Amino acid sequence: MSQNLPCERTRSAVRSCPALLVSAPASGHGKTSVTAAIARAYVRRGLRVAMFKTGPDFLDPMITGLAADREACQLSVWMGSETEVRARLYAAAGEVDLILIEGVMGLYDGRPSSADLAVQLGLPVALVIDASAMGGTFGAVAYGLKHYRGDVNVFGAIANRIGREYHAKLVRESLPDDICWMGALPRSPSLALPERHLGLVSAAEIVDLNARLDELADVWERYGEDVTLPVVAFLPAELPTAGAMLAGVCIAIARDDAFCFLYPANLEVLQMAGARIVFFSPLAGDPLPECDACWLPGGYPELHLQTLSQQKSLHATLAAHVDAGKPLLAECGGLLFCLDTLADHQGRCAPMAGLLRGHARLQERLVALGLQAVALPEGELRGHTFHHAQADVEAPCFAMASNPNDAPTREAIYRVKRFTASFVHFYFPSNPQAAARLFLA
């Protein structure tokens, strides 16, 4: 691709920067691999790339963020707001040479969809299409995605998992004239990113991830086309804040391979509100730090049953924390850790912290998926749920989430004193003041 990426950084209110929303016909076509390949290729040329992910996903941004050597943030006009999304893009446009936004699922999947975001923000779309089992149909799929809605600006297409050069020629020639050929990635096991039950394996667990990203960039440099990317104008906007509600409050946050689902925007909300954040690792045997409040985010406790079950001192300290009326937020994997027992996919069971009466077991199939809104005494918070665990919780339901799309998933929220637990991953920018109140005694 062309290195001619003109960003305007003037005193004008509007900031202009090349930008692309990378989407696909469906999940599994390779959006993350292609986005990471483009990002790493540009960064190696000395250019600055801002990474974003449409929707609530945690795992893909870990990888694309590493590819760009810059933390990737989520963009959701429902979980957050249009103002918040515009503020993040506006800030990025003043700092980088290219903005890449990885879409979620297929271009038109979900409410709101990646297409909806593209139209709302004026973003051009690059299609990633798995061409491994098609030739001329590649162009038909791209044409259909472009013209399904007249308001979506499909700029170009990228063929993933191509075979020989002749295969690339076939799919390239199938594209209509109004869709730019942007390049391809070949089919190769070494270019694939490892997966498991919640999606891609988290970046910290892929020991050779940097080498894989460099290989993706090498291949993109060979097969990517030298095209001038479209420039997008971004209007000014400001992030919502909670003022200084958490000034002087110390929040201990679990962070390791068992508790790794942390939105960067959530940490930003807490810090902007004045909180002092200290991280600790239950897997490493860290004690609970001296703190005013604690947060156990989601992750993979089911992959670390024995280690987590042996942290008896931490279990006791957390129980004392709750008994003292101090705030504790446990989300999804954090909720599972707080139950009496947890069993993995094979039925291997281990005792957990025992802060909330109940038991859970991982299922082979997805148990819950969907956006969630919860009316709490602190205020309404929005987020999402996505898990394979079936939990039987004996505590009474304190509040029940609603789903904006009338989908069947509605998660229960449990509360004991200032201990709040649920399967919902809250997105704090949806209501920074309500989020801050969760951490106040």
Q: Position 182: which residue type? A: M
Question: Which residue among the candidates 17, 73, 332, 338 is catalytic per the annotation?
Answer: 332
Residue 317: closest CA among 342, 286, 360: 286
User: 76 — phi, psi (to 5°)?
Assistant: -145, 115
> How many CB atoms within 10 Å of residue 38?
28
Cα dist. 194→50, 87, 135, 199, 203 in Å? 24, 33, 27, 9, 10
205 φ/ψ angles, rounded to the nearest 5 degrees = -95, -10
Among residues 135, 185, 127, the alpha carbon closest in space to that of 156 is found at: 127
CA dihedral 305, 307, 311, 312 (to 10 degrees): 60
Q: Residue 394: how many CB atoms within 10 A of its CB?
A: 11
Residue ranges of alpha helices (H) inside 240-291 are: 264-272
What contacts 220, CB < 8 A, 6 or more positions away?
A: 34, 37, 38, 40, 41, 183, 185
- Angle at which helices 137-147 and 165-174 pack, to 10 degrees? 40
332 is catalytic: yes
Reported as half-sphere exposure (CB side, CA atoms, 13 A), residue 130 has a value of 15
* Cα 272 from chain centroid (whole Å): 21
3-state SS of 79-114?
CCCHHHHHHHHHHHHCCCCEEEEECCCCCCCCCCCH
Per-state percent for the chain, helix, strand, coil, to nearest 5: 30, 30, 40
Helix (H) or strand (E) holding 390: strand 389-393
Q: Which two three-digit tokens encode residue 414? A: 């449990």
The residues assigned a catalytic role are 332
